[in-house]
Structure 1
Amino acid sequence: MQNYSTSGSERGKQRRSSLSDCDQPTWIDIEARLRRAGYSRIVGVDEAGRGPLAGPVVAAAIILDKDIPGGIRDSKKLTPERRLVLAQALSASAIDIGIGIISPSTIDRVNILEATRLAMEQALESLHTDFDCVLVDGDSLPDIESPVIGVIKGDARCPSIAAASIIAKVVRDRLMESMDLVYPRYNFKSNKGYGTREHIEALRKYGPSRIHRYSFEPVFRLFEGGS
Structure 2
Amino acid sequence: MNLKNMSTREIASILEKDNINDDIISMLHTDKRKSVQQLLKHYTNEQKEKSRLHNLYKYEYQFKEQGINYIAGVDEAGRGPLAGPVIAAAVILPIGCFIPKLNDSKKLAPAMREKIYTLITEKALSISRSIIDEKTIDRINIYQASMNAMYNAIYGLGITPEQVLIDATPLNLLEIPHLSIIKGDSKSASIAAASIIAKVERDHLMNEYDKKYPQYGFSRHKGYGTKNHIEALQKYGPCPIHRRSFEPIKSM
Q: Deviations over 1:1-47 (max 9, x none)?
A: xxxxxxxxxxxxxxxxxxxxxxxxx6322111111122211000000
Written as runs of structure 1 = structure 2, the 5 A alignment for 1:25-36 is: 27-36=56-65
Residue number among 176, 179, 186 corresponding to 1:149 in the alignment: 179
Partners of 1:116 and 1:140 within 8 A in 2: no
1:54 corresponding residue in structure 2: 83
1:191 corresponding residue in structure 2: 221
Structure 1 consecutive aligned stretches of length 4 or more whose deviation exceeds 3 Å: none
How many equivalent pairs are there? 197
- What is the TM-score of this pair, normalised by structure 2? 0.76
Instruction: Please say which structure displays the higher CA radius of gyration.
Output: 2
Aligned partner letter, 2:168? G
- What is the TM-score of this pair, normalised by structure 1? 0.84
Partners of 2:134 and 2:243 within 8 A in 1: yes
The Cα RMSD (Å) is 1.1
Larger helix proportion, structure 1 or 2?
2
Identity of paired residues, percent? 48
2:153 corresponding residue in structure 1: 123
Q: Deviations over 1:60-114 (max 9, x none)?
A: 1000023231111000010000000000000001000000100000001111110
Q: Against the structure 1 CA distance between its residues 148 and 179, is the aligned structure 2 distance closer, same or farther, given a 3 Å change threshold? A: same
Structure 1 CA distance for aligned equivalents of residues 169 and 205 of structure 2: 26
Deviation at 1:139, TM superposition (A): 2.6
Residue number among 109, 113, 135 corresponding to 1:83 in the alignment: 113
Written as runs of structure 1 = structure 2, the 5 A alignment for 1:166-181 is: 166-181=196-211
Q: Deviations over 1:135-169 (max 9, x none)?
A: 00013426321012100010000000001001100
Q: Deviations over 1:115-138 (max 9, x none)?
A: 001111111122111211110001
Aligned partner letter, 1:32? Y
Deviation at 1:210, TM superposition (A): 0.6
Q: Which has the higher contact order (CA 8 A, sep 6+)?
A: 1
2:131 corresponding residue in structure 1: 101
Aligned partner letter, 1:110? I
Partners of 1:53 and 1:216 within 8 A in 2: yes
Structure 2 residues without counterparts, runs of 5 or longer: 1-54
Structure 2 CA distance for aligned equivalents of residues 128 and 142 of structure 1: 22
Structure 1 residues without counterparts, runs of 5 or longer: 1-25
Partners of 2:89 and 2:128 within 8 A in 1: yes
Structure 1 CA distance for aligned equivalents of residues 167 and 218 of structure 2: 26
Structure 1 CA distance for aligned equivalents of residues 88 and 151 of structure 2: 9
1:19 corresponding residue in structure 2: none
SS in 1 for 2:250: helix
SS in 2 for 1:194: coil
